[in-house]
Amino acid sequence: MRLLIDENIPCAVDAFGSLGAVRTMAGRDITSAAVRDADVLLVRSVTPVGPALLDDSEVQFVGSATIGTDHVDQGYLRRRGIAFAHAPGSNARSVVEYVLAALLHLITKSETALRGRTAGIVGCGNIGQRLADRLPALGVRVLRNDPPRAAAEGPAGFVGLEEVLRTADIVTVHVPLTTAGPHPTHHLFDTDTLAALQPSAWLINTARGAVVDNAALDAALPHGPPARAVLDVWEGEPAPRVSLLKQVALATPHIAGYAYDGKVRGTQMLHDALCAHLGRSPVWSKEAALATDAAAFTLTPPDPSLPEAAYLHALVRQMYAITTDDAALRQLIALPAGAQGSHFSNLRKTYRRRRSFARYTIAAAEVPPAYHTAVARGLGVQLV
């Protein structure tokens, strides 16, 4: 069996080498010629999978190590009889931790408090629901907006987008990118939607770039709302709109879900799915890849006299310094247009090994008792 795998899927050779001959390459370089002789194709979100890629191939199984599937023409795969699997929920914790890091950075920089704010979570699937579960431990009121879930489960516990725009001072977006159906999300945040935000609102997009109309956001930011924006995803990737990049409060190269733990979980999910497709028992486990040196994951207690948000920010910076990713992407601004896309892609390809907050511990006796809930339930750090 011949397997072609995106080189950004970790542990590919270890996980799939016993199943066949593994070849890896950059996801954006995977072409119809590259897949022609492959039996199995494993990708991430940068590889569009459909007729143009697979018509002349022998591929019988496609896997995407991602939560989202908008880059995969699943109808085409079904018509061709090609099996498909993806990794829902694999990087949910990573994205939640990115949002928490962004919020604590913005709060600390503005010298305000996180406790007492209202967050509107637009899209309450694997990621949005996890975030909704975490934020109350940080003193944040949560409004959940998810029309498909509200239709399926009943309206209790959900609010309309209009209420989110009218009420929330933090709006964080976690919807799939869709262009059809009763609730399309392409340009869900357009000129009118952005104008309906509270003047002081912060907008965070870690979903897909086109959920937010980047031209409209570029035009809105000098005047507000939103007052500040955090973008991890961009229309036109891997070449984001430079004028918008200059304006946002935090800019990162589509890496919110790139914590190593989540990526390895995605590998495990594809490995298990492929083994099931082949009628074989799984032969690889993620545990060895995720093993840690406990000493390396012990946090240094911050100054206990710090206000809560500053204390939490000091902890988070030991685990994930989001400003490092921001600074790396902003180097793109000085590059010629022809080199910007390569810079964006290379940041993703060479991304450092960031670990989940859940891997870290801190001595409970070193944490002010009033902050225990925020540290343990909000951030997900282990108190020992």
Residues assigned a catalytic role: 208, 237, 254
Distance in angstroms (rounded) separating the CA atoms of residues 56 and 326: 41
Which segments of the chain are extended strands (E)? 2-6, 21-25, 40-43, 61-64, 83-86, 118-122, 141-145, 170-173, 202-205, 228-231, 250-251, 361-362, 382-383
- Given a contact cutoff of 8 angstroms between Cβ atoms, the answer to whether 145 and 158 are in contact is yes
Angle (CA) 136 356 331, round 5°: 100
Which segments of 54-100 are extended strands (E)? 61-64, 83-86
Distance in angstroms (rounded) separating the CA atoms of residues 39 and 248: 43
Query: What is the layout of strands, in order, in the sheet containing 2-6?
Result: 21-25, 2-6, 40-43, 61-64, 83-86
| Tokens describing residue 369 | 């008792």
- Given a contact cutoff of 8 angstroms between Cβ atoms, the answer to whether 261 and 289 are in contact is no
